[in-house]
Chain A
Amino acid sequence: DAKTTQPTSMDCAEGRAANLPCNHSTISGNEYVYWYRQIHSQGPQYIIHGLKNNETNEMASLIITEDRKSSTLILPHATLRDTAVYYCIVRPLYGNKLVFGAGTILRVKS
């Protein structure tokens, strides 16, 4: 599975959009980009995934660059409860596991 690079930590003001970047320059054609988050020692939670088109759901939007070498997760109106570690993962759609890196610690501040 391709490797991803994320900033160690980010701060965001409550109510503002949180934009979390991820680099995956070695991504291959059959690999999807997945985002998960882990809120303070709880079980990881799926957020969104995509292949090459931008995706949006009730939680977030995923913007993938045309060359697929990077992506951005957007939380449109961050709340204090969005404070968590956010993981960007690439894997084939039917890959047999997720490999978690260090992720980005997002701190939402009032």
Chain B
Amino acid sequence: NAGVMQNPRHLVRRRGQEARLRCSPMKGHSHVYWYRQLPEEGLKFMVYLQKENIIDESGMPKERFSAEFPKEGPSILRIQQVVRGDSAAYFCASSPETGRNTGELFFGEGSRLTVL
């Protein structure tokens, strides 16, 4: 049973370009969470999605950032017009349906974005 898969693991972009980070949750999981970790800082919640729905986006920057979790395919975190301050590790986590949820989130190994 594969874990949470994130790709790319490393991404380099120039200022002004777009970054797309993908997350495939564990099999059977319908909830996805995105977190950001700036260098030498803690993990910050960004957004929580279920299939085709954004449930909580209280941690998402108001501009340039968007997330989706379509009916088919991985969840996508999209960053438009990247700036150097977007350089960070972006972690995705998944969990099963609430009814069978132990409260445990399963994290991927992260995608490391570097903006030149």
A99:B45 contact, CB within 8 angstroms: yes
Query: Distance (Å) between the CB of B45 and the closest chain A CB?
Result: 5
A-B contact count (CB 8 A): 55
B89:A41 contact, CB within 8 angstroms: yes
* Overall SS of chain A's interface: loop
Q: How many residues of A contact B (CB 8 A)?
A: 22
Q: Which of B43, B48, B91 is in CB contact (< 8 Å) with A96?
A: B48
Which residue of B is nearest A45, CB measured? Answer: B107
Provide the A36-71 mask, 1 if CB < 8 A to any CB of B, else 0. 001001111110010000000000000000000000
Interface centre among A32, A45, A96, A99 (most CB of B within 10 A): A96
Q: How many residues of B contact A (CB 8 A)?
A: 24
Known contacts A43-B91, A43-B108; decide if A93 and B43 are in contact (CB<8 Å): no
Known contacts A43-B107, A43-B110, A93-B101; decide if A100 and B43 are in contact (CB<8 Å): yes
Residues from 77 to 116 in B contacting A, C-beta threshold 8 Å? 89, 91, 93, 98, 101-110
A32:B103 contact, CB within 8 angstroms: yes
Q: How far is the CA of A32 from the CA of B101 in the complex (A)?
A: 13
A97:B48 contact, CB within 8 angstroms: yes
A98:B101 contact, CB within 8 angstroms: no
B43:A44 contact, CB within 8 angstroms: yes
Chain A residues at the B interface, C-beta cutoff of 8 Å: 32, 34, 38, 41-46, 49, 91, 93-103
